[in-house]
Structure 1
Amino acid sequence: MPGLETTADRSAEWPLRTPAFRWFFAGRSISTAGSFMAPVALAFGVLDLTGSSAWLSAVLAAAVIPMVATMLIGGAVADRHPRDAVLRLTSLGAGVTQAGVAVVLLTHQPPALLLPLSALNGVFQGLTTPALRGILANLVSGRALQQAGSLLATAGNTARILAPSAAGLLTASVGGGWAIAVDAVTFPVAAACFARIALPGPPPQAGSMLGDLAEGWTYFRTRTWIWSVTLAFAVFNATTMGFWQVLGPVITNHTIGPTGWGLALSARGAGALSAGLILVKVPLPRRPMTPALTAMALAALPLLLLGTGTNLVWLSAATFTAGVVAEFFTVVWVTVTTTHIPERLLSRVGAHDEFWSFLAMPLGQIAASALTTVAGATTVAVAGSGLGAAAMLLAALVPALRRLELNSRAV
């Protein structure tokens, strides 16, 4: 197709030599930069508009519930249609909904309007995530997979450093709506980058959409090495992450403020960036899952320190550590799943992984406010961090994960 870049050089040792990957890398990096501004801006924007942690919980859950509900369908869609086309359409939809959120915050409209906008944004995220999980296998192969994942993570983590701090400064000075507006603009720009990719369509599917979903579910449930990690992250996301997203802005709103909260989140990005830069060059262990899961237990540390009232320096040190271990796990998991799951099933199986691991997060977000009222922020934070760490350590003991090797066939 004239004017479009193809994937002819998929076997390149260095993924940036492949034109299609370069356009994907550019588009993904741009949209990620805006997306890392959004959590800070949205949290303090909602608190400024409503003064209520319950409203914040509701808005966050309004996005996560539709996102999770859409993921399984998104997996089947991404395995049936060109993944670059899926990403173009979902990026445009996400841009429109984020623009609506920005208008509500900037013009101080009733907060109830944020709920349908957040829900629509969650739908587009749910369709996007499975396509992202599968598209790397269309762009690069072999040894370049780890490098491609690390490059994407490095760009994302650079944004994770800069974007929250910028969002905190914008929110503290002119309001969170402007940071959300910046995020809205990044989506159509990313869609333009994805339009420069020309992926071949997947082979024709003989069965129905329901048959595709059933096939993905069968593969997922019969692989202990996949579902055990998913179960661990369901617990971690419900407690550690769900509580963190609500308690963080609520607690810091009266202590270090949006600027300090943005800096703490940026420290996590700095840790992830450091790990990503190392992992671009350093090979992963032959059996990587046990060390990756064991290290992930440290990602629960920031919630523990948040609840015990530590200062910004120690909180930032903890988030930096969490960024390092989370990045290590992410690169390991992307490499392992892309290597061992058949390419035609990647999006569907990845959708099940995302669906079940994130299903409990809105429950954690909704419960955080209620539990804090009953037991206090310190108790909720300490309990949440303990449960999250325990889930990771227990998963590290699963025999199928301890035996899993990068260069062998998973069972």
Structure 2
Amino acid sequence: MPGSLKVAAIQMDAAPASIEVRLNRAASAVAQAAEKGASLVVLPQQFATGYSYDDTQYEQSQTLDDEIVSWMKQQAAQHDVHMIGSLLLWDVDEVYNAALIVAPDGQSWRYDQQFPFLWERALFRDGEHVLVAQTAIGRIGVLVGWDALHPELWMRYAANVDLMVVLHAMPDGSQAQMQPPEGQALDLSGLGALMSVSSAFEAYILAQARWIGVPLVIAGVSGKLDTMLPLPRLSVLPLSLVESNLWGYLEQAHDLRLQAPFIVKTGIYDANGRALSFVENDGDQVVSVMLDFPAHRPMPQASQPDVEFPQSLLLTVDALSAAAYAPVYQRSQRRQWGARMAPTSSKTRIWLLTTALALLVGFISGITARRLQR
């Protein structure tokens, strides 16, 4: 890693729009970053399409040879920068949320999000490997969205990277609601327990980056999530198991809209977790700063920070959402792109088996408890 490096983080409003419109907006932001002297420019999750969970997202996946990746390579070459951003990447018979690092000479590195968040599992498959990109500007580690709350991924990057980058489009679960076509919005406070980790998002990843001892770049989105759900009735059904007030709306599932503000967290932090530059407002914004790096790659000097929320919560969200939405992903991708898409993976089978066993244990425990009370 060079002794210093000018880095820029770009925040974009997450409202979906055409790829052409959003790439034009992104190009303006990248040009601003380059004018400020940035050598590394970080765009947020799904920067070229916007962020939602509805069926239109299935049409947005592209290959490595399509418009979005070609645009990234062109921009990196034009401005002589390394660029990072994610897209829904169609790879043979699967779709992934792939974060790409693109160098000015066209070389690229890829990280696939490993833990899709709830409804994201209906849109793309989970990845399997961390990425340590050995670029000309240093060794860069990448995490996307919900991945950043999984301590085992940070552990794998420790002592292996010079810089960590987190891309995200995290909705604020504490303010989530379901809006029917008529009447008042339905409070999703029951789901808030599952999504409450959103409030600890920034503090947790800063603690992990401090532990690793490297600077951190966070590129996120702003605005408000306002989306239908993929295959709405099938998507709403598992939610109704947690939020009983949704039962009466299963027949109207196609008209329900999930709404929540996004967590606005875009900034650049030094190795001690100190904010050097960060976004304070909504909308498309660019922040940049010169980062200093030590001569030698840091080694963690203490135990990994404790998770400030139950690990069982992460497992519950991961397992239940995988079991509930893997069939939605498979059915929707096949409907959009053909029967060869989305073969059932071994990981999906494990999630389904784990969930089935958990439900069976819970059922047996419930029966046993009732008998003991008699």
The TM-score normalised by the length of structure 2 is: 0.31
- Which structure has more RCO (C-alpha within 8 Å, separation ≥ 6)? 1
Greater per-residue strand proportion: 2
